[in-house]
Amino acid sequence: MSTDCADPQLAQEFVQFAVEAGVLRFGEFRTKAGRASPYFFNAGLFDDGAKLGRLAEFYARRLLASGLGFDMLFGPAYKGITLAAALAVELARRGRNLPFAYNRKEAKDHGEGGTLVGARVAGRVLIVDDVISAGTSVRESIALIRAAGAEPAAVAIALDRQERATEDGRDADYSAVQYVTRRLGLQAAAVATLDDLLQYLRTTRDTTLAAHAAAVAAYRARYGVAG
C-alpha cells in the first residue's frame, strides 16, 4: 500500500489557509516525541463553522481526486468525530452522500450501548483524522472496524509531517504515515505534507513567514523521512 500523491496547488492553498486560520504556527514547540519543533499544527483551532467548512472542502477535494475506494467514513474519537461529520456533509453537497460513524472512548452501558455511534460500520471504511502521530488511533480504529465485520480501506489526514516515528524512545526508519501504509496495509491520502509547507515558506512574499523556512528545513533534514 502507498501514500496517494497530493495535488501541489491544493496543498499550497491548504497551507496558506492553515497559516491564515492560526492553525499552523511557527516558533519553538515541543512535540510528543520530545523534539524541539519550529512549527506546530493544531487542528483543534479549526474552531468555527467557516473554518471547519473550508477544511472539509479541502478533504473532499483531495479525496474525490485521489481515486481511493471507500463506502463510508469513520471518525476516531475525539478530533476525528468532527472531521468525519464535516466531511460527510461536504461530500454530500458535492453529490456523494455517504454514511459515517465514530467511536466513544468508553462503552455506553445503557440505551443502544457499545462504543460505536452512527451508521452501521460496513463495507470499505475510510478513517478520517487530522494527523498521524504514532498510529495508535489508526490501530484502534482498524480493530473496531474489523470487529464490526467491515474493511478498513484507507486513512485521510490534513497534514503528513513526514518525520520519523519513535519506537521504544528511539527514532524509527519510517514515519507514522509510512507505518500505516507499510505495516498496517492501508492507503493514505494527505491534503498536504511537510514538503508542501516548506515550499510555501520558500515562495511566500511574507518575509516574516519566509524567515522560518531555514529552521523548518533543518528540522526536516534532521528528523525527516524520504517520500
Report DSSP letters for 83-139, one per residue.
Answer: HHHHHHHHHHHTT----EEEEEEEEE-STT-EEEEES---SEEEEE-S--SSSHHHH
Cell representation of residue 127: 478513517
Q: For residue 103, give Cα distances in angstroms to 59, 70, 118, 186.
A: 20, 18, 9, 19
Which positions are annotated as active-site residues? 108, 110
Specify whether the CB–CB gap between 142 and 154 falls below 8 A.
Answer: no
Left if phi > 0, otherwise alpha if psi is -120 to 50, otherwise beta: which for 142? Answer: alpha
For residue 11, the one-letter residue type is A
Burial of 50 (0-12, 13-18, 19+ CB in 10 A): exposed
